[in-house]
Amino acid sequence: MKNRIINVLAAFESENIGKSFPLDYCLPLYHSVSDKELPHLKHVIRYKTTQQFEDDLDHMAGNFQFVNWQEFKEFTSGNFKPQKKIAMLTFDDGFREFYDIVVPILERKGIYACNFINPAFIDNKDMMFRCKASLLADAAEKKKTIDPEIYFILSLKNADRSILQKKILSVNYQQKDILDRLAEKFEIDFKAYSKEYQPYLSTEELKELTRKGFGISSHSWDHPKYGDLSLKRQMETTDKTFDYLKENGFLYESFAFPFTDFEVKKEFFDELYKNEDIYCSFGCAGIKLDSVKRNFQRIPMEMGESGAQILKREITYFRLKSLINKNMIVRK
């Protein structure tokens, strides 16, 4: 019902997004762009084609002024006066399509982006558990027969393929060892897949991107959901990643939460900002304010719609939440 109301109201939203956008900054978030089927992503991310991505960029460029990291810092600290509302493009997870497909497009259009990476996966040493789940869900869809042991591991009685896929895709960070057991039964070799397809960027590619002027920054060590971790574990994965960024000459002034910053308490931010190098952090709750002033919310752009539709929906939702004072995330 909520989505239906938002969709109806969004249809009446002004085409001039730049004027109706309720904040002075827009922070779009992507993961990958590809015209190919990517089995390690297709079941977990609705990534866009190159044409869809370019259409998004052109739409945003017509409504916002794209800025780089330094300009974003200066703008948010009151030292930069743009021609119009700003946008800073962000990517997460350090997938190789950023280097192969995205950056050539951005260089042609003169647009900066920052990619928030997980060092555990760089150089294809390992693969994020959600990517492993996507590969397994793909196998569950395509395999002619399913080993009964797979149902046993997942505590499922013989169910149809769609239920099996959903169960595989519901495995969380704490349960990720299950995915390795399932891979054996599905006869999938994650290391062989990583070696052949190279889903992640290499250290050398990251350094080249830095030389080209793009940002490479922190997204935790191996992509846990922070709301599920103790403060000690939150800081361990965060600090380990910042050490890696510093050692390699990457951007160590920012941090983007993997998955979401939902249920992350004020104590984490208090601890995080004891590190004086860190300028700000990023969530992904859409157009929303945060009681932690240095935590900025980004807009997920891979929702199966055009960028224009997503932004209109976000603006509409923000207006509706304004009526009941629900536009601020309050940390306790």
d(CA 80, CA 58): 23
Instruction: Single out the residue of 240, 274, 239, 296 nearest to residue 114, CA to CA.
Output: 296
Q: Are residues 54 and 90 in the same domain?
A: yes
Phi-psi region of 112 (alpha: psi -120 to 50; beta: other; left: phi over 0): beta
Same domain flag for 172 and 275 = no
Supply the range of the domain harboring residue 137.
129-195
Indicate if 16 and 50 belong to the same structural domain: yes
Q: Which of 195, 219, 245 is the last residue in one of the domains?
A: 195
Dihedral angle sign, alpha carbons of residues 113, 312, 170, 173: positive
62/144 same-domain check: no
What CATH number did the domain enclosing 50 receive?
3.20.20.370
Please measure the distance between the N-terminal and C-terminal CA atoms of the chain and give it in whole angstroms. 30
Last residue of a domain, one of 195, 229, 250: 195
Note the pTM of the prediction, 2 decimals.
Answer: 0.95
Minimal CA–CA distance to 129: which of 181, 90, 185? Answer: 181
CA distance 137 to 40: 9
CA distances from 78 to 60, 64, 278 (A): 23, 18, 18
In whole angstroms, give the CA distance from residue 225 to residue 294. 20
Residues 285 and 158 placed together within one structural domain of the fold: no
Per residue of the chain (332 residues), what is the pLDDT tens digit? 667 766 756 666 667 788 899 999 999 999 999 999 999 999 999 999 999 999 999 999 999 999 999 999 999 999 999 999 999 999 999 999 999 999 999 999 999 999 999 999 999 999 999 999 999 999 999 999 999 999 999 999 877 899 999 999 999 999 999 999 999 999 999 999 999 999 999 999 999 999 999 999 999 999 999 999 999 999 999 999 999 999 999 999 999 999 999 999 999 999 999 999 999 999 999 999 999 999 999 999 999 999 999 999 999 999 989 888 889 999 99
If asked whether residues 136 and 116 sit together in one domain, one would say no
| Structure-block tokens of residue 78 | 């009151």
CA nearest neighbour of 122 among 224, 53, 35, 217 = 217
Structure tokens belonging to residue 303: 């929702």
Element (DSSP H or E) covering residue 281: strand 280-283
Task: Collapse the DSSP code of 103 into the 3-class scheme (helix H, G, I; strand E, B; otherwise coil) and give the result.
Answer: helix
Question: Is 180 in the same domain as 208?
Answer: no
Q: Number of folded domains in the chain?
A: 2
Asked if 71 and 121 sit in the same domain, the reply is yes
| Same domain as 113, residue 141 | no
Query: Do residues 257 and 276 share a domain?
Result: yes
Q: What confidence score (pLDDT) does residue 6 get?
A: 67
Instruction: Please give the Cα distance from 30 to 93 (Å, whole number).
Output: 9
Q: Which residue spans within 46-132 are E strands per DSSP?
A: 65-66, 86-87, 89-92, 113-117
pLDDT at 103: 98
- Indicate whether 145 and 120 sit together in one domain: no
Last residue of a domain, one of 171, 195, 219: 195
- Are 227 and 162 in a shared domain? no
Chain length of the chain: 332
